[in-house]
Structure formats: C-alpha cells, structure tokens
Amino acid sequence: MSGLEIERKFLVKGDGYKRQAYSSSRIQQGYICSGHGRTVRVRIRDARGYITIKGPARNGGFGHYEFEKEITLTEAEELMRLCEPGIIDKTRYLVKSGQHTFEVDEFYGENEGLVMAEVELGSEDEPYEKPDFIGKEVTGDKRYNNSHLKDCPFSVWGKNEA
C-alpha cells in the first residue's frame, strides 16, 4: 500500500467501542527512525510483520504520504531490535460506522489510559458518521502521534486530556 493517507484522530469516551468492534488485534511497533515528521516504522500485528515509511503531515495534519509493505515475522522481529527506545504496545479494534471503519487503539505500558480512534477518508471534507464513543478531535496535535508517544508517553502529560 502506498499513497496519500487522509485521516482524522479523536479521543475516545468510555469502552462502548469494544462491544461494537467486529475485529481486534494486538500491535507492537517500533521506530527505526523518527524525526522532522518522517518515520520508518516496524510493526508486528498478531503474527504478521510490516514496515512503513511515512512522510510529514500536510494540510494541518489531515494527510501524509505513506508506504507500507508486509514482511516476514522473522524480519519484523529482527528489525524491532534496531528500533529507537520506546516500543508502542496497543490493541486495535475495528468499528464500522456508516460507510467508514474507525480504528480504535487502546494503549498499554507508559501510554496506559490513552484510547484514540482514527478514520481514513478519501478527501479532507468527506462526510462521515461519528460513533457515540468519539470525543475531542486531536487531528494535527503531534502529542498523539505514535512516534511522539514513544518519546513522551501519555502517562507523563495526559492526566487531564482523556
């Protein structure tokens, strides 16, 4: 997969998303490099590996270029050893809402207590139905980027945010 990714991010209220989810998976991800809005990420999702390259955010944080390729689990495990400190650990729940799917991430470890949802859109002004668990929008707030959470976890700054 590659191309422009347009997404909106939100904080999540309550745990109703778990009852509405049609799928869930455990994700661990690390960053080989991150800086200046660019990242090279390694992810293990259940028993599959991925490498992803993301470009800097555009248009107030709504979109960025993303390239992702599936790699073997062994390759992903080896690449995880090369990652910067601060592995992200979370469960992702998929929730259908109208014509869209919201990805809801429940974080663990130093980011415990943070639950975020994002929805991918075809354009910045594409309409979408918000599920009832959607809270404050945090699109464009760099504190909520996974690459930032690895360096400055939610437990350090987020006590009044959720």
pLDDT of 108-132, one tens digit each?
Answer: 999 999 999 999 999 889 999 999 9
For the chain, what percent of residues have pLDDT higher than 70?
96
Per DSSP, the three-state class of 50 is strand
Instruction: State yes or no: is 50 an active-site residue.
Output: no
pLDDT of 19-38, one tens digit each?
Answer: 999 999 999 999 999 988 89
**CA angle 18-158-162, nearest 5°?**
40
pTM of structure = 0.91
Question: Among residues 17, 31, 93, 144, which one is catalytic?
Answer: 31
pLDDT of 89-110, one tens digit each?
Answer: 999 999 999 999 999 999 999 9
pLDDT of 78 > 80? The answer is yes
> Region 46-60: what's the mean pLDDT?
88
